[in-house]
Amino acid sequence: MNLFYLFHFINLYIIVILLKEHECAKPPCQSEIYCKGELLHTVQMAKIYPDSKTFVDKKLKVSVKQVLENYNETFKHFNNFNKEVPRELVKRFVNDNFEDGNELKIWVPPDWTHHPTILSNIDNLYLRKWANKLNNLWKTFSRKVTDQVKENPELYSSIYVPNGFIIPGGRFKELYYWDTYWIVNGLLICDMVQTAKGMIENLLYLVKVFGHVPNGSRVYYLQRSQPPMLTLMVESYFMHTGDLNFVKNNIEILDKEINYWLDKRSINIMKNGVTHTLYRYFALSSGPRPESYREDFETTIVSSNDTERFLRYIAIKSAAESGWDFSSRWFSSGGTNEGNLTDTMTQNIIPVDLNALLHKSFIILLEWYKILGDNEKIQKYTRLSVSTLKAIEEVLWSKEEEFWCDYDIVHQKSRNYFYMSNFVPLWTKSYRFQPMDLTRIVLNYITKYNLQYYPGGTPSSLKYTGEQWDFPNAWPPLQAFFIQGLDRIGSIPASEAAFFFANRFIHSSYKGFKETGFMFEKYDSLEAGKTGGGGEYEGQTGFGWTNGLIFEFFKRWGSRLHVLMPLPIQYFSNC
Catalytic residues: 325, 521
82, 48, 85, 35: which is closest to 313 by C-alpha?
35
> In one letter, which amino acid is 441?
I
Residues 6 or more apart from 285 whose CB is under 8 A from it? 19, 22, 23, 24, 223, 224, 313, 314, 317
φ and ψ of 99, to 5 deg: -150, 165
183, 175, 276: which is closest to 232 by C-alpha?
183
Say how many C-beta atoms besides its own lie within 10 A of residue 41's C-beta: 18
567, 509, 525, 568: which is closest to 127 by C-alpha?
509
Q: Find the helix or strand (DSSP H, E) in which 126 lies.
A: helix 125-140
Sequence length of the chain is 575
| Cα–Cα dist 159/209, whole Å | 11
360, 323, 399, 329: which is closest to 484 by C-alpha?
360
| In contact, 504 and 572? CB cutoff 8 Å | no
406, 494, 478, 516: which is closest to 442 by C-alpha?
494
Can you state the angle between helices 352-372 and 375-391, rounded to 10 degrees?
160
In three-state secondary structure terms, 254 is helix
| Cα–Cα dist 52/223, whole Å | 17
Angle subtended at Cα 563 by Cα 456 and Cα 111, rounded to the nearest 5 degrees:
95
